[in-house]
Structure 1
Amino acid sequence: MTPRSPTPDKRSPTIPTMELAAAFPPAERERWREQLKGVLRKSGAATEDTPLDSVEGLLTRQSYDGVPISPLYTADEAVPSRPFATAPREGEETPFGWDVRQRHDDPDPATTKAAILDDLENGATSVWLTVGAAGLPVTALAEVLKEVHTDLAPVVLDAGPQTRQAAEAFFKIAKPATRGNLGADPLGLAARTGFLVPVPVDLAQKAVAEFPGVRTFAVDGTVYHDAGGSDAQELGAVLAAAVAYLRELTEAGLTVDEAAGQIEFRYAAHAGQFATIAKLRAARRLWTRVASLSGVADTTATIHAVTSNAMMTKRDPWVNMLRTTVACFAAGVGGADAVTVQPFDARLGLPDTFSRRIARNDQMLLLEESSLARVVDPAGGSWYVESLTEELAQAAWAFFTEIEQAGGLAAALESGFLENALAATWAARRKDIARRKAPLTGISEFPNLAEKLPARPAAPAPLGGGLPRHTYGQDFEALRDLADAQGVRPKVFLATLGPVAVHTARASFAANLFQAGGIETATGTVDEFEGGVAVICSSDKLYAEQAEETARTLRARGAVKVWLAGKGEYTGVDGRVFAGCNAIDVLEETLRDLGVTV
């Protein structure tokens, strides 16, 4: 076998130099617009007279913050300047990635103690402990943390109204090298419960004087996210709370650096991948600006990202694994210092060992196998992400300013300003979900009526009394629960016209829609219909020929309501189901027609 000749150091003059994309013409935006216009003309969204410079606008959508999301970002959209500086995670080297923070809600001390040790032995690096009425008794804190090395594994408390009692119990077992957070957030507690307590400046003073590794405040944005707020609203409310604490602490005698060092931020990471990345990057810019204007030496924000509770579902809960994986990935790319992934069965009750392990390993895979944390600010330089970060930071700053003009966060909560703002965003999101423009797999799309949900012990009831708590799938899940509670599952009949190839698409669409409300569907010809609610399914051509006659036949056979899958006006047809229709309204109306009280 003849050995290969060594590769020469210099290129042979007979071999041309290869250049990237050399065989393709230069990409031009105008050419892309022409191609886009051609596609949109075929769909009917554009016409021959549509100007080229407006075709992008046909695909541009608005976020719930009013931020335009364009279909294309190029160097033309690059942000020329950054009024809010982006600070990376501490240090240029991130060999251990972010802090893998597991949450513990079980009120049983023995169970919680075992779960904490299991987590720490298998990849978790810190503990987030719910204490008080919604979790572990304060009196059990010492025993539960007895074997935890708090100098190596930080402990974060979440005690709500019992923050002071939990903090005092924690101080008794803490050592000078202990790290963690007392979890105080009086304004967040007021938002969650409607009850405002004083800012515990004495706890912060004690932490500064005796426990330099312990922070006092965890400014929690998830309460505003759970109330239906947008990303900018969550950012603005959190910033307003942090500013309020900064003022209180400095007025109590702490230096501005000491006060800023007592504050940690907590944000919801949701399955909107780029939105979550931009939110966490914008959070750093916002705090950098506030800290810089306040004279803080270290302007770096410490951010704890928690996978969104609002996006979690109790139906088809295994899909939650996909949602939390995307959210965790986004949190890592966005630069979170600590990440908590909720177990997939969190909506069903207290998680079991398997679901906790999956949640923990979700992070381990991204850290150990994907090496996600080895790059500081991996999204930096992306035209889209940089633009979205800038727009989101500006929107959040504007909302923060509105809160300040309303008298601060406490006044904005008391007056109803904040609740009304969040409610308006929730109403818009809820409408999109009802119309399935924001689809939820396993809930509004591809529901499984035969699923067997895993049984879990009931979790302690969360604190209430303040802002509402929403989940994205709540309206569909409520209808599923209602349908499941009937002695016989409600059913609609899909009356198909023509061959299978003609009616399958619309029959499948209709079945998917009605099953999202827990309503069973049966498919057959008109002659097989035996009364109740019917849906005519076929093509527009056959509708023009047979829809009205079919409706009359269905009425004669006992139909109390006749729907048609598609659009068009036909005598005898009561309503239509189509892409973009309000599915919740359709489902509620259908259940009432079937004798179910909604």
Structure 2
Amino acid sequence: MVPEPPVDADALEIPLAEGAQHTREEWEKATAAVLRKSGRLGDDAPDADVWGRLATTTLDGIAVTPLGTADLVQRLGDPGLPGQAPYTRGARVKAPEDAWDVRACFADPDARTTTEHVVTDLENGVTSLWLQVGDGEIAPSDLAQVLEPVFLDLAPVVLDAPTAPVDAAQALVSVLADKGVQAAAGTSLGADPIGNRLRSHGVTELDVVDEVASLAVRAGVRAIAVDGTAAHDLGASDVQELAYVLAAGVAYLRLLTDADSTTGHDADTAAGLLEFRLAATDEQLLTIAKLRAARRLWARVAELSGIAEAHRGMLQHAVTSRPMMTKYDPYVNMLRTTVAAFAAGVGGAESVTVLPFDERLGLPEPFSRRIARNTSSLLIEESHVGAVTDPAGGSYAIEKLTDDLARAAWDLFGELEAAGGVPVALDLLRERIGTTVSDRALLVARRKRPITGVSEFPNLREELPERRPSASTRPQPHRYAAEFEQMRDEPVGQPVFLATMGPIAQHTARATFASNLLAAGGIDVIVAGATDGAEAVVGAYAEAGRPPVAVLAGTDAAYGEWGADLVAALREAGATRVVLAGKPAAVEAELDDSAAAGLDALAFLRRTREALA
């Protein structure tokens, strides 16, 4: 629901331009005029309807207002100052030169190649290492070689070893001992058996927590990664990811402070052993608000857990989303990760990992690794995004969105706790995530959540860059573009005949719409037509080899004048399926299908592919 304006809304002043103040009523009037001109608002509709027309709704059912106004935050609590409870505005106050820790990810099983990548990245802007260890990735026995050239007292190292958490932790601790150095702040052994349970991969026994925590305390490093991407990679919404992180964090606190364990820790020490990992997506406002909400929520959990205020801050590692990445037109991933990294930095993450744009294609090459690390470098050094702590703080829309996410996540967290807490309640969480996946898939199918280069503006003739295949045994994340990409993986050998009707200026819009739609399903087109009359079109159809499917693209006027004749002529010439680009009511003829904005594109493409097969 869009928030109702307060009683004195008409008197509310809104700064629409520098030095000018306008009331809400004036804004509504000006905005309504624009929407009526574009046909998005009826002439008889009240001006106040613009709020509903322009508001967007997240997958969690949270309304995002089109304009932030002071009334949105009138009833919200004080977010505090950066570095102070409730830490909404940041767990610490950063100096302008601090920005965020640029953390690169390494997974190549070839130890020599990984060592070269580590050295290159550290020499060119990367400040910490995220090592993925296990089957088909870096072997625990190779950690000494990989880290040999690294100054471990300067560059933090974070392990991610789902299949060998203890072996990897012991190997890193041994390297630190052999070098005789104290690990840099932020170093973590990265065990996460609860996340492994959610992913159904790796070591899931909770005894690992006690063992790895003991190693971590002796080495003076962190022990546990509370990895929200375990939920995100399954397709979770922002609220579901936040709720999972809270529930998993609480579960780890209970395990670490268990008086019956051999190494029970006090609450403050236990909190200091945790690091939190969250996904950053190309929905920048949601990412900013999610990171802010996560800190506020964890501070509340820590308060209720008896943790001292100084230890209630959440150490955040933001990773650009894997599900949003595409296999086709992979260079668009550079744009996605840039927006995500920007949002992560603005949202206050201490560490940010930008995944290489080609990670869907296999092991990244030096070029894609350079682009990944330079994304953060450009944002920090040239755009100065990290120069201000919590630059979004005080934004009415961001503060409201932060509060909405926090409240919704707290409610879901309460449900998970009432169900026994994680890992007992993981099935409940999976069920909720499954609903989100279905909801998102429908929006993607209808192209209401367009995926550039895949569901929109695909290039059937692109040549994908070649990469060495990954041998990792980790489960593949849920990909938002998966169903479209499956069609692209198996292109149809038979093209569709696209019959254009009338002059170029009249048919271009619908012809382009139809061509892009078909290409999204791996279907090529042969375009030909005439300015008037069916005879010339049918001649071109015969020259094209008489494909079984023909699509008509023209104006409603052209459809009414000679559309029925063209449909009949194409059927007589051999077309077994005739489709109209537009609303079927525009032509008085029996059609097999139609394609207009808002259709279920996936269902339409499947029907068309079956006809071509």
Indicate the SS of the match to 1:409: coil
1:138 aligns with 2:109: no
The residue correspondences of 1:273-288 to structure 2 (distance < 5 A) are 273-288=284-299
Instruction: Provide the residue aligned with 1:357 in structure 2.
Output: 370
How high is the sequence identity, in percent, across the aligned residues? 48
Alpha-carbon contact 1:208-1:258 (below 8 Å) kept = no
- Which of 404, 411, 425 is residue 436 of structure 2 equivalent to? 425
TM-score by structure 2 length?
0.89
Deviation at 1:321, TM superposition (A): 0.6
In 1, Cα distance between equivalents of 2:32 and 2:558: 31
| Counterparts of 1:364 and 1:532, CA distance in 2 | 53
- Code of the aligned partner of 1:478: Q
Displacement of 1:184 after TM fit?
Answer: 0.7
Is 1:201–1:249's contact at 8 Å kept on the other side of the alignment? yes
5 Å matches for 1:329-478?
A: 329-413=342-426, 416-464=427-475, 469-478=477-486
Matched residue, 1:76: 71
Quote the Cα distance in structure 1 between the aligned partners of 2:157 and 2:137: 15
CA distance in 1, matches of 2:17, 2:290: 38
> Is the contact between residue 281 and residue 340 of structure 2 (CA under 8 Å) also seen in structure 1?
yes
Residue 153 of structure 1 and its aligned partner are, at CA, apart by 0.6
Query: Letter of the aligned partner of 1:455 in structure 2?
Result: E
Match of 2:232 among 225, 228, 235: 225
Aligned to 2:560: 544
CA shift digits 1:89-133 (9 cap, x unpaired): 423424231111110110111111111111111111111111111
Q: Which whole-Å CA distance do the structure 2 matches of 1:170 and 1:264 have between them? A: 17
1:516 to 498, 517, 520: 520
Q: 1:244-263 maps to which residues of 2 (within 5 A)?
A: 244-251=251-258, 252=261, 253-263=264-274
Opposite residue 477 of structure 2, the aligned amino acid is R
Distance 1:347 1:423 in 2: 23
Distance (Å, rounded) in 2 between the aligned partners of 1:357 and 1:23? 40
Give runs of aligned pairs for residues 63-212 of structure 1, distance below 5 A. 63-82=58-77, 85=86, 86-175=88-177, 177-179=182-184, 180-193=187-200, 196-207=204-215, 209-212=217-220
The 1:122/1:544 distance shift into structure 2, 3 A limit, reads same
RMSD of the TM alignment (CA)?
Answer: 1.9
Does the C-alpha gap of structure 1 residues 519 and 45 become closer, same or farther in structure 2, counting only changes over 3 Å? same
Provide the C-alpha distance between the structure 2 equivalents of 1:448 and 1:369, rounded to a whole number of angstroms: 33
Aligned residue pairs: how many?
Answer: 566
> Retained in 2: the 8 A contact 1:222–1:268?
yes
Following superposition of structure 1 onto structure 2, how do residues 502-513 of structure 1 map, counting pairs within 5 Å? Answer: 502-513=506-517
Structure with the bigger RCO (C-alpha within 8 Å, sep 6+) is 1
Contact 1:490 1:591 in 2 (8 A): no
Contact 2:111 / 2:146 at 8 angstroms: preserved in 1? yes
1:58 is displaced (CA, Å) by 2.5
Q: Deviations over 1:50-81 (max 9, x none)?
A: 33433311322210011011222211212533
Give structure 1 stretches of 5+ with no counterpart.
1-19
User: Contact 1:205–1:254 at 8 Å: present in 2 too?
Assistant: no
- Corresponding residue for 2:6? none
Q: Distance in 2 between matches of 1:435 and 1:192?
A: 29
CA displacement, residues 28-68 of structure 1 (integer Å, 9 cap, x when unaligned): 11122223333344455433443343331132221001101
Letter in 2 for 1:576: S
Cα distance in 2 between the residues matched to 1:514 and 1:418: 36
1:344-379 Cα deviation digits (max 9, x unpaired): 111000000011011011111111111211101010
Partner of 2:487: 479
Report deviation, 1:572. Answer: 1.8
The Cα shift of 1:239 comes to 0.9
Q: Normalised by the size of structure 1, how large is the TM-score?
A: 0.91
Q: Extract unaligned runs of 5+ from structure 2.
A: 1-14, 80-85, 530-536
The answer to which of 49-58 and 145-154 deviates more is 49-58
Is the Cα contact below 8 Å between 1:268 and 1:305 reproduced in 2? yes
Whichever residue aligns with residue 563 of structure 1, its letter is V
Bigger mean CA deviation after superposition, 121-130 or 137-146:
137-146
Q: CA deviation at 1:25?
A: 6.3
Change (3 A) 1:566 1:254: same
**Contact 2:224-2:273 within 8 A present in 1 as well:** yes
| Matched position secondary structure for 1:411 | coil
Does residue 54 of structure 2 align to residue 59 of structure 1?
A: yes
In the other structure, the counterpart of 1:13 is: none
